[in-house]
Amino acid sequence: MAEQTASIDNIPQPAKTTLAELAASLERQRLRACVSMVKSVVILLACLWIGVSGIPMMFDITATSASSGEITAFLGTPMEDVGGIASVVLIGWPLLWLIGGFWQFKRWGLGARWKYINDYKRKVLGGICRAHFPTMAYEPGVGMDWRIFEGSTLFAFTPDEYSSEDRFTGKWGSTDVAFAEAVAQRQRKRFTLKGFETITETYFRGLIFIADFHKHFQGTTRLIPQGEKGVKNRSEQRVHLESPHFEAAFETWASNQVEVRYLLSTSMLERFVELQQRFPKLRARFHDESLLLLLPSSHDRFEPSLLRRAGSQNQYQSFIEDLDTCLSVVDELNLNTRIWSKV
């Protein structure tokens, strides 16, 4: 963590001026996006009303066709005089309204919002990161590869759907770090009164955090929340450590019974217990001389709001505080201490 409290006031004046100019330009874009969103919602509601009100008529036309041997058009004109293509259009026009309404909402409403958010992240949040955290690089459109998440073996199942964005890479103190937000979902079946149905369940939302560890080691050690499940590896055994508080919070699995006690000293056990209080259900894996953490979060940390001004100082400060929270993990686990042979 920074030696002084991170604040927008600590950003150099030239960078502040640049941010103000960018915010002024983005504020006009934000207002256009708000107008586009409102228009798209109105059009969508109109399309829904027209489409839904036309569905009963569509069934009436189909029923008339089945009973009389011919399809009766909207105004009573025999459809056989209009043509086959027209009959399909007339029967399906309510669906066309519904599809068209959702298409324009996604294209013009959500599209304008997504463009504003992406531009804001790249220009404003990227500028704040360069000014206040010069050792870190911010890539809003890049995330952690799904193979990193799946290969951690910290969950007992693999994701059916996975997304990640807002990646930060760099050096914090003496420690190389990389982290990004990620969402992992799986599909499962559940029984209802109507039979089995497939639902999509989000089982992880938060940060994937990777840091260079300050000790040499060769094996693998995993920390799983007590009562939760991870992948069962034949090469690993359950390890019981001396801290009751740690044992109440985590199950420890390791490929080397001696090495795990070298990695998880008494002070490190205490630090993990404290970190778990900030990030309940966190999971960790020591492997390949690095530490991987899965830090659950209930909200998207680096997402600007369309309802807040582009130049909002509170929004700037929120971004700085969120990034400080992420980087504070290095200090909480004391990863910058290099009293061992590793440098």
Are the beta carbons of 162 and 183 closer than 8 angstroms? Answer: yes
- Are 79 and 29 contained in the same domain? yes
- For 38, the domain range is 1-132
Give the whole-angstrom CA distance, residue 86 versus residue 76.
14
The structure tokens listed for 142 are 């890049």
- Are 91 and 156 contained in the same domain? no
Are the beta carbons of 211 and 290 closer than 8 angstroms? Answer: yes
The domain boundary residue, chosen from 98, 132, 166: 132
- Are 111 and 172 contained in the same domain? no
Are the beta carbons of 246 and 256 closer than 8 angstroms? Answer: no
pLDDT along the chain (343 residues), means of 10: 54 66 85 85 78 60 48 47 49 67 71 87 90 93 94 91 96 94 89 76 95 89 91 88 93 92 92 94 94 92 88 90 92 78 49
C-alpha distances in angstroms, 106 versus 38, 39, 99, 103, 159? Answer: 12, 12, 11, 5, 26
Determine the pLDDT at residue 16: 63
- Are 164 and 23 contained in the same domain? no
The domain boundary residue, chosen from 97, 132, 167: 132
The domain boundary residue, chosen from 104, 132, 160: 132
Are the beta carbons of 26 and 120 closer than 8 angstroms? Answer: yes
Number of domains comprising the chain: 2
**Residue from 138, 24, 20, 113 nearest 305 by CA:** 113
- Are 212 and 272 contained in the same domain? yes
Determine the pLDDT at residue 131: 87
Q: Half-sphere exposure of 33 toward its Cβ, with a 13 Å CA cutoff? A: 24
**Residue from 262, 154, 267 nearest 217 by CA:** 262
Determine the pLDDT at residue 225: 95
**Phi, psi dihedral angles at 104 (to 5 degrees):** -70, -30
Determine the pLDDT at residue 339: 54
- Are 145 and 158 contained in the same domain? yes
Pairing of strands 290-296, 237-239: unpaired
- Are 143 and 123 contained in the same domain? no
Contacts of 205 (CB under 8 A, 6+ apart): 182, 183, 184, 296, 297, 298
Determine the pLDDT at residue 74: 43
Determine the pLDDT at residue 51: 67
Q: Which value, in Å, is the radius of gyration of the alpha carbons in the chain? A: 28
- Are 122 and 190 contained in the same domain? no
Give the whole-angstrom CA distance, residue 236 versus residue 257.
9
- Are 168 and 92 contained in the same domain? no
Determine the pLDDT at residue 47: 74
- Are 146 and 223 contained in the same domain? yes
Give the whole-angstrom CA distance, residue 166 versus residue 303.
9
- Are 158 and 126 contained in the same domain? no
- Are 82 and 153 contained in the same domain? no
